[in-house]
Structure 1
Amino acid sequence: MALNLQDIPRVKTITKEGFLKHYFKPQKPVVIERYIDDWPAYTKWNLDYMKAIAGNKTVPLYDDRHVDYKDGFNEPHAKMKMSEYVDLLKQEPTKYRIFLWNVLKEVPQLQNDFSYPDFGLKLMKGLPMLFFGGRDSYTFMHYDIDLANIFHFHFEGKKQIILFDQKQNDYLYKIPHSLITREDIDFNNPDFEKWPMLKKAKGYKTDLNHGEILYMPEGYWHYMRYITPGFSMSLRAIARNPKNFSKAVYNLLIMRNYDNVMRRLKGQKWIDWKNEQAIIKTHKKNGIT
């Protein structure tokens, strides 16, 4: 048995009006296949280019270890020179990923390789973020703290994507006071005996290739697995839905700080309690005792 996932719709290209009408307003994901062919990045951006232009930069690395109470919010697990990291990606599978790397701040000349597309949303131009991963590395199922509209541009190789909207929260074993599901769920091959409510969740899937753009609507859960080594860039626009915007403000100002305080006060007991509550609350909402 597999997750109940439908293919994310694909278009070759799209107008601003078409995007707003068919995808932004109904808050549905889409893959745009041929929108950035005229960007210098389309032909230049690969791992070798990143090594050449940013090889001396120290980059933050994350792996798939479970949350530890001693970890700060989004605190990296390791650091490495970009040149060493690219070599590692090419040599062997590695769990290390680069997560939320601000490309403009670190390597300003990369700005010359892309432009900000006009999809009818005001993109945050100070926050183009890069994400890198080795073969079979993956992100836990999560949604972004600001519930932004996200445009995810993929470069080099292939990446597996699974998405769920916020309406599926009751089935995903969401961790309370957090942005993730249970970390021991393998969304690539879920154990439905252990996680029976996943059978009720309805989501989306696709494989993202070089030069393709994935639009993820506000607050969408996303799991991403690198089928081959590669990297992506995300551009974001603030949540327009008032409910999502207020939730983003709550996450940033209250939830994140409350969670950090509880980690300091209760340590690993806080993490363990949250993991237990993810199961208890999910099963209770679905009539399982």
Structure 2
Amino acid sequence: MAAPGSDRGPIATPALWAEVRALLPGTEEGLTLALSGEVEDGVLQLLQRARGLLYAQPCEAAALGRLGEVLRDYSWERLNAGPWREISKAWRQVYTYGCLFAALAEVAAGRPLASAVRLCDMGLLMGASVLDNVLARLVRVLQAQLPRGELCTHGSVKRDRTDPIPAPVVQPEDAVPHLRCPSLEHFRDNYLIPGKPVVLEGIIDHWPCMKKWSVDYFCQVAGCRTVPVELGSRYTDEEWSQRLMTVGDFISQYIVNEDSVGYLAQHQLFDQIPELKEDIRIPDYCCLGEGEEDDITINAWFGPAGTVSPLHQDPQQNFLAQVFGRKYICLCSPQESENLYPHESHILHNTSQVDVEDPDLVKFPNFRKAALQSCVLMPGQVLFIPVQYWHYVRSLDISFSVSFWWS
């Protein structure tokens, strides 16, 4: 292993290569290269050549890395050739194989592990599962070799701000009701079926994340992992963009130093990093839905104070669980939609043009007719947001929330 503080970081060793090879089938024929659709014969031939190089004795790492790069580049063009929903799963699997072969080549060559971890993350983000989700198993082995204390380079995060953002005053008549551990029947009859928001208390106190999670903990568990980050205070701003970066870099730039506003918002984080998923639970109330547990989408929302989600609607029921930090949230019934001035473009048709906390009532005069409810969501509380219910969210602190979308 490299010395602590080395720019190269930990490197692969023969023992690690043996552990990694144990994740794969024992024979070349056992690695089936099964795809869920058609691709060109030339691509299949490249996959077969790469497989042969992997199982050669010794593994031909340099040539394997080059083929992995070719497979990644070619399939990347296919992944960006049209709307994501129209992309064949087979091409996503080819991209995964390209990432897998390239990552294995890095390990076989004894190179620093950071590049192999990034390749695994790219396959997990953009690809589709192959070989019993081998990339997730591989990255867990690689990450275990990284010294947890060196995954982030930032100093300690100051928890006590000298100028904490004050919470807006919520008038009693506008407050979202609070309820402690209601029965399934009571929740269903009084909130789910009528489509009324409610803040639930006491239902996530037993989650391990409530005692474990902090900014420092994320550095230790996920600092080296590559994730998509949204840049900008809100997604309707012209300067809003997305980029890939490590969790450690995100924390250093946007949480600790607050150079600008960035937000980690994605639904694959818990699949990428199972350690985090083990710290949360799906709320029991989701069993009242029509789908299976696998149909529930779990989203992560991690960012600094001041981040805003404009007033918008979602197509599913939503439980928003607050792990740490506070969020100010305004809600409005879908029956009020005509008073909320949704954008006319198809892309933003579910988003209001009105800035909830600073509305232009000359431009949007009917907004004053809208009946708004609000709350300050505190750690340990869960907000039920009914399907299609309009909601606006502003982080008052460094904040981590988990949302569950279900039908």
TM-score by length of 2: 0.52
Give the aligned partner of residue 107 of structure 1. Answer: 273
Give the aligned partner of residue 232 of structure 1. Answer: 401
Q: How far apart, in 1, do the equivalents of 2:222 and 2:292 lie?
A: 25
Q: Report SS of the residue matched to 1:110.
A: helix
Give the aligned partner of residue 328 of structure 2. Answer: 160
> What aligned pairs does 1:182-193 form with structure 2 within 5 A after superposition?
182=353, 185-193=354-362
On the 8 A contact 2:307/2:394 being kept in 1, the answer is yes
Out of 159, 169, 176, the position equivalent to 2:337 is: 169
1:22 aligns with 2:193: no
Structure 2's unaligned 5+ residue stretches are 1-168
Structure 1's unaligned 5+ residue stretches are 239-289
Of the structure 1 ranges 122-131 and 17-26, higher mean CA displacement relative to structure 2 is found in 122-131
Out of 214, 225, 238, the position equivalent to 1:57 is: 225
Distance 1:11 1:123, change over 3 A: farther
| Identity among equivalent pairs (%) | 27
On the 8 A contact 1:141/1:223 being kept in 2, the answer is yes
Q: How far apart, in 1, do the equivalents of 2:293 and 2:319 lie?
A: 11
Deviation at 1:142, TM superposition (A): 1.2
Q: How far apart, in 1, do the equivalents of 2:180 and 2:334 lie?
A: 27
Give the aligned partner of residue 138 of structure 1. Answer: 308
Quote the RMSD (CA, aligned, Å): 2.5
Deviation at 1:36, TM superposition (A): 0.9
On the 8 A contact 1:94/1:135 being kept in 2, the answer is no
**Larger RCO (CA within 8 A; separation ≥ 6):** 1
Q: Report SS of the residue matched to 2:338.
A: helix
For residues 194-218 of structure 1, give each alpha carbon's deviation from its aligned partner in whole angstroms, at most 9, with x where no partner exists: 3211101112110111111010001
1:213 aligns with 2:213: no
Out of 176, 180, 192, the position equivalent to 2:351 is: 180
Deviation at 1:234, TM superposition (A): 0.8
Deviation at 1:128, TM superposition (A): 1.1
Pairs aligned (count): 228
Give the aligned partner of residue 128 of structure 1. Answer: 298
Deviation at 1:76, TM superposition (A): 4.8
Deviation at 1:174, TM superposition (A): 0.5
> What aligned pairs does 1:80-99 form with structure 2 within 5 A after superposition?
80-87=245-252, 88-92=254-258, 94-99=260-265
Deviation at 1:53, TM superposition (A): 1.2
Out of 227, 244, 257, the position equivalent to 1:79 is: 244
Deviation at 1:171, TM superposition (A): 0.6
Name the structure where strand makes up a greater proportion of residues. 1
Q: Report SS of the residue matched to 1:28.
A: coil
For residues 100-136 of structure 1, give each alpha carbon's deviation from its aligned partner in whole angstroms, at most 9, with x where no partner exists: 3322221012222122222123565462110122111
Deviation at 1:95, TM superposition (A): 2.1
On the 8 A contact 2:267/2:297 being kept in 1, the answer is no
Deviation at 1:151, TM superposition (A): 0.5
Q: How far apart, in 2, do the equivalents of 1:207 and 1:3 lie?
A: 8
Give the aligned partner of residue 116 of structure 1. Answer: 282
Distance 1:110 1:157, change over 3 A: same
Deviation at 1:186, TM superposition (A): 2.2
Distance 1:231 1:94, change over 3 A: farther
Q: Report SS of the residue matched to 1:139.
A: strand
Deviation at 1:47, TM superposition (A): 2.1
Q: How far apart, in 2, do the equivalents of 1:37 and 1:60 lie?
A: 29
Distance 1:34 1:123, change over 3 A: farther
Distance 1:161 1:193, change over 3 A: same
For residues 66-107 of structure 1, give each alpha carbon's deviation from its aligned partner in whole angstroms, at most 9, with x where no partner exists: 466xx9xxx952332111222331333742112233222210
Give the aligned partner of residue 88 of structure 2. Answer: none
Q: How far apart, in 2, do the equivalents of 1:196 and 1:93 lie?
A: 36
Counterpart residue identity of residue 160, structure 1: Y
Give the aligned partner of residue 210 of structure 2. Answer: 42
Counterpart residue identity of residue 180, structure 1: T
Q: How far apart, in 1, do the equivalents of 2:371 and 2:170 lie?
A: 8
Structure 1 ranges of 4+ moved more than 4 A: 2-5
Q: How far apart, in 2, do the equivalents of 1:223 and 1:230 lie?
A: 15
Distance 1:187 1:3, change over 3 A: farther
Name the structure where helix makes up a greater proportion of residues. 2
